[in-house]
């Protein structure tokens, strides 16, 4: 096996482990926050189970947004990625472990729990974003590399959700312990990979200026935002919707979420390779319109069976869109600015997750699930239609790569 192929497998395994650890918490999040001390009488962030769950998830992604750029900038400035990934993974493991011991301590408020969650998120995002950047550094086709990342993300979510539901049935704190153990493994595994970060070092200001001179990065960033918004929506609102509408427990809810994440994961690599051959435009634009329609179909499904079928369809469409969008970032970014460029993509994605939690949770809580599904599905369709002129005017996404000296005017 070529070293790039071996490293692609290892790095994908690292991305998988980080996402798997994250998704372990989602199916049983309402039970978990109750165990961690969410009490309507003691905290304004826990007035309802939905509110407590929402803020617990929001805390992590707020930290993602605040710190992912710091990790990317530090990596590009120093010309190293591996030490930062190891540090982020091990510190994230400590964060998960500290959350797991909160009930034993007994004197930590729910606000304190949210603060610990912020610290854990700030550390974990470094491991996640920089591992994806190391995949960007590999040879072999941007679509293939981002397809490998997409498989890892999808499998981590697909397996993390049902296994997290099963662990929650055993003990609400078990997902936290499992996440801590996995991140320790991440810190060990990533050290086996060659660090291919470009050797040329630049100042932080020069790196930021270089990214600002590539305005076409806003296109994949916009799609990354709305795509992650739908994922955040399903993680919180979708979970509670399935449980309340169909009377499902955490374990069954995890299996229903897996109906989306399984095809989403398994088709990422071939879909990414497809985008290397046919370009990014069709997978991103057409795929996003169909993806939005699929979300509307999930919200209209009258039974668990039809909801599962709709979730499978949405997973297939998501697999078409995701790797092409990530590959477009690699197409446009200069090789010396990949850490910052991918950090920007993950900031957009984290803002999307945050929007999925906040917008979806607020609309669902105030106006019902039907309007929440309609809003999120329509946003996915709208961003695709709005982006069409940009693809046509700038000719982005027509081939699997861009000229290295491109600054967005293409």
Query: What's the pLDDT score for residue 207?
Result: 54
| Confidence grade of residue 395 (pLDDT, cut at 50, 70, 90) | low
Q: What is the pLDDT of residues 241-252, one digit of tens each?
A: 888 888 888 778
Nearest CA to 145 among 364, 365, 333, 324? 324
Q: Residue 216, class by beta-carbon neighbours within 10 Å (0-12 exposed, 13-18 middle, 19+ buried)?
A: buried
Q: What is the pLDDT of residues 327-378, one digit of tens each?
A: 888 787 777 777 778 778 878 887 887 788 788 888 888 888 899 999 989 9
Please give the angle made by the CA atoms of 301, 306 and 308, to the nearest 5 degrees. Answer: 105
Specify the range with the lowest mean pLDDT, choosing from 4-18, 101-115, 194-208: 194-208
Q: Is the pLDDT of residue 1 over 80?
A: no
Q: Which residue has the tokens 């329609």?
A: 293
CA distance 386 to 188: 44
Q: Is the pLDDT of residue 402 over 60?
A: no
Query: What's the pLDDT score for residue 405?
Result: 41
124-148 average pLDDT score? 84
Nearest CA to 327 among 133, 129, 146, 132? 146
| Confidence grade of residue 183 (pLDDT, cut at 50, 70, 90) | very high
Q: What is the pLDDT of residues 77-94, one digit of tens each?
A: 888 889 999 999 999 999
In contact, 32 and 164? CB cutoff 8 Å: no
**What is the C-alpha end-to-end distance of the chain, expressed in Å?**
37
Nearest CA to 190 among 122, 134, 269, 121? 134
In contact, 14 and 153? CB cutoff 8 Å: no
Q: What is the pLDDT of residues 57-74, one digit of tens each?
A: 889 978 988 898 889 888
CB atoms within 10 A of CB 148: 26
Specify the range with the lowest mean pLDDT, choosing from 99-103, 189-193, 212-216, 252-256: 212-216
Please give the angle made by the CA atoms of 301, 305 and 310, to the nearest 5 degrees. Answer: 55
Query: What's the pLDDT score for residue 115?
Result: 95
CB atoms within 10 A of CB 410: 13
| Confidence grade of residue 20 (pLDDT, cut at 50, 70, 90) | very high
Please give the angle made by the CA atoms of 235, 382 and 23, to the nearest 5 degrees. Answer: 15
Q: Is the pLDDT of residue 401 over 70?
A: no
Nearest CA to 223 among 146, 145, 322, 340? 322
Between helix 218-233 and helix 369-394 the angle, nearest 10°, is: 160
Q: What is the pLDDT of residues 216-269, one digit of tens each?
A: 778 888 888 888 888 778 877 888 888 888 888 877 887 888 788 778 878 888
Q: Is the pLDDT of residue 278 over 90?
A: no
Q: How many CA within 13 A on the CB side of residue 169?
A: 12
| % of residues, the chain, pLDDT over 90 | 24
Domains of the chain: 3-394 (1.20.1250.20)
Q: Residue 246, class by beta-carbon neighbours within 10 Å (0-12 exposed, 13-18 middle, 19+ buried)?
A: middle
In contact, 345 and 227? CB cutoff 8 Å: no
What is the average pLDDT score of the chain? 83
Q: How many residues does the chain have?
A: 410
What the block records as the tokens of 166 is 């099963």
Query: What's the pLDDT score for residue 208?
Result: 56
In contact, 116 and 296? CB cutoff 8 Å: no
């Amino acid at each position: 096996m070529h070293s790039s192929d071996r490293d692609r497998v290892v790095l994908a395994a690292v991305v998988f482990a980080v996402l798997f650890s994250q998704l372990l918490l989602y199916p049983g999040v309402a039970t978990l926050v109750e165990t961690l001390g969410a009490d309507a009488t003691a905290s304004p962030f826990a007035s309802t189970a939905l509110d407590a769950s929402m803020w617990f998830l929001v805390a992590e992604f707020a930290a993602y947004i605040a710190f992912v750029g710091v990790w990317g900038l530090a990596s590009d400035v120093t010309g190293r990625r591996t030490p930062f990934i190891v540090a982020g993974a091990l510190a994230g493991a400590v964060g998960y472990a500290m959350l797991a011991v909160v009930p034993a301590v007994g004197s930590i408020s729910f606000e304190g729990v949210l603060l610990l969650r912020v610290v854990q998120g700030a550390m974990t995002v470094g491991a996640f974003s920089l591992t994806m950047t190391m995949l960007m550094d590999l040879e072999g086709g941007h679509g293939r590399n981002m397809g490998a990342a997409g498989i890892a993300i999808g499998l981590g979510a697909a397996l993390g959700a049902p296994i997290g539901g099963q662990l929650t049935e055993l003990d609400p704190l078990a997902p936290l312990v499992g996440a801590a153990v996995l991140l320790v493994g991440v810190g060990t595994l990533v050290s086996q990979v060659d660090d291919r970060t470009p050797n040329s070092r630049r100042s932080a200001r020069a790196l930021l200026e270089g990214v600002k001179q590539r305005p076409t990065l806003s296109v994949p960033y916009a799609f990354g935002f709305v795509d992650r918004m739908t994922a955040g929506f399903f993680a919180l609102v979708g979970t509670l919707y399935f449980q309340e509408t169909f009377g499902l427990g955490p374990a069954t809810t995890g299996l229903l979420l897996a109906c989306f994440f399984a095809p989403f994961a398994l088709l990422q690599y071939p879909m990414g390779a497809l985008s290397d051959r046919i370009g990014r435009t069709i997978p991103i634009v057409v795929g996003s319109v169909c993806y939005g329609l699929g979300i509307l179909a999930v919200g209209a499904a009258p039974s668990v069976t039809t909801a599962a079928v709709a979730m499978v369809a949405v997973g297939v469409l998501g697999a078409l869109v995701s790797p092409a969008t990530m590959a477009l970032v690699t197409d446009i970014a200069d090789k010396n600015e990949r850490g910052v460029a991918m950090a920007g993509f993950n900031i957009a994605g984290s803002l999307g997750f945050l929007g999925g939690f906040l917008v979806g949770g607020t609309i669902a809580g105030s106006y019902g699930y039907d309007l929440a599904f309609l809003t999120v599905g329509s946003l996915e369709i709208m961003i695709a239609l709005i982006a069409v002129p940009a693809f046509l005017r700038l000719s982005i996404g027509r081939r699997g790569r861009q000229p290295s000296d491109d600054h967005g005017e293409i």
